[in-house]
Chain A
Amino acid sequence: MATLTVSAGSRTRVALRRLGRQRLLALLFVIPLAFLVLMPIYRLQTEALSNGAQAYSTEFGRERMPGTILATIGLAVGSLAIAMAAGTLLAWSATLLPARLRWMRVLPILPIVLPFVAGVLGWTFLLSPRPGYLNALLRRLPWWDHLVAGPIDVYTLPWIVIITGLTLTAFVYLFLSAGFQNINSELIEAAHVSGSGALGVFFRVILPMIRPSLLYGGAVALLIGLGQFTAPLLLGRQSDVNVLTTEIYYALYNRTPQDPAAAAAIASPLLIVGVAVVLGQKYLLGNTSRFVTHGGRGFRPIQRKSKFAVGLILTYLLLSTVLPLVALAVVSLSPFWSRRIAPGAFSLDNFRELFATPVLVDAVWTSIWISFLAVAICLPIGFIASSLLLRAKQLKVTRAVLDLIITLPLGVPAVVFGVGFLLTYTRDPFFLYGTKWVLLVAYVTIMLPFTTRMHMSGMTALGDAYVEASRVAGAGVVTTNLRIVLPLLRSSVGGAAALMFVLLTHEFTASLLIRSAQTQVMGTVLYDTYANGNYPLVAAVAMIMTAVTFAGVVVALSIGGSKVFEDL
């Protein structure tokens, strides 16, 4: 940059140096982020292509591979279908809620913030063929009273699909309900006045207008479904249901020696699809002005069927959250897991055992403080990144690169990223494996899109005028950010930070791939305990996870209000 500051008057030098310095600072910011995101992906590919890409032909030539791929697609498509249908229905019914029940709109979002691994465990306790509580209940029905197991087997692909779909519903709901709220009610009324009935309005006006939300929600759900790891890992093993993500995990942790090349090769299709979806969706939604329907009153349907809406939302809450949590609570209080619930035998023994086991206590604390640190690092990164993306108009190339880097982690499934982290941080120049820092680095990387998006939405909502007024009043960039932007962003950022903390405390997938014996978090010890078959203790760990989550959500809601979820 110094080479630019030659000749001419001192003012020229000042101006040139300013742009040069800006570019230099921006690069200093972008390059480490690029390393964080691109290095794992790069290592993954070089590993897969090593030995003449031998791993591809070995892995994809295996006899069971076609079945695995089919199961992966089945899981993705099936859970997407469930999520789109149920999510649209829920989002629609949320608009039918009367004013005093408006708070219920937040309920269907809970499955996103609650630990999914706890939910899956809960469903195991409910629907496991023999001791599952719900199965036991169903067997009391006259036409099933001859059964000794079942009628439902949670360990089969259809139920893995259903349970995943139930959680994905929350994501679709999140995007669609935001979409519904952006529709100007007069557009709906105009369609009614022009002679359309309720169905006509829904299909000819509302659905086309929320197309961006549908597309976005669908894309997110598809990516999560494709990269789904928790449910197939916990449920699929018993009946040998395998998907690509579990194959990746087994290649690393079920083979001796570890086979990272195989894991990387199996990860390739997921990586390619993920990146393609992210880029394609960016391209498709490039010009969204056509869909902007702001202005006027918010969306209000003409007919109110609030009972139906309340019923639907409560049913979803029951299935996605309440039932599994109750099952977890029951098992965590019981001395052992059987189909009979014995309230008389309830005790806190499992929790006592948990807190007497140093590994478990350590894991809880590690989860909490590594998540806290990661959030503390992510906040300034998100602030700077969104400032660059929104305001540094003269740095076109830097901005485009930054945008890509920030968006990529959305498309890369956590399990794939996990392998990439493992490959990157088990070798020089950053040998972090076995330390807690590898978790920290991974968590920061995973949260990059979220922290940036939430800062961007906060800044966009703020508008340009406050910043411009400050600049015109004689304040420089730093003063403006400190005295105007930060104070005004405090509530939205605070809420979102609490949310990020929550999501990280129950991070499961990436943690499971990069943990070592010395670096355990709540999710990984939960899996180990589950694999050892100590179900009451597993339930206790899951309950602790849920409790931490609830505390975080309460903090998030009290700081940022219910709108904090919209930035997800």
Chain B
Amino acid sequence: MSSVIIVILVTLGTLFVLLSAIGLVRMPDTYMRISVNTKAATLGVGLILVGTAVFFNDLSATSRSLVIILFVFLTAPVSAHLIGRASYFMGVKLWKGSVIDDLRGKYQRNSHVLKSEIDDTPGNNIDHTKNDDIIK
């Protein structure tokens, strides 16, 4: 009975990891890649680790795998936010089919301050439709 539960959990987790890898290759944009990976890969690894927790079925191993799940679930959104912010400052363009860019003209280029609306110093704001200083 317990091995059936383990097989179901590990298979679901593996499918999520595979889908996240396919999404990493197929998505057209850096921000979409961040989005697909911080959700799917985290969920897949969490399901695999729940499978190990069911398999070992004693306190030390179960608590260890639950601590790993907690840590991965806490740190994945933080690192995704940080790398998305850094790539927006670096000038990584959005996909050309993207409909809206909510941050357009709201980040200051030099001081990295976020304004809540487009102010009257447009030369100092980050605008991906205009600027040419793409840093690789």
A binds B: no
- Interfacial residues, chain A to chain B (CB-CB below 8 A): none
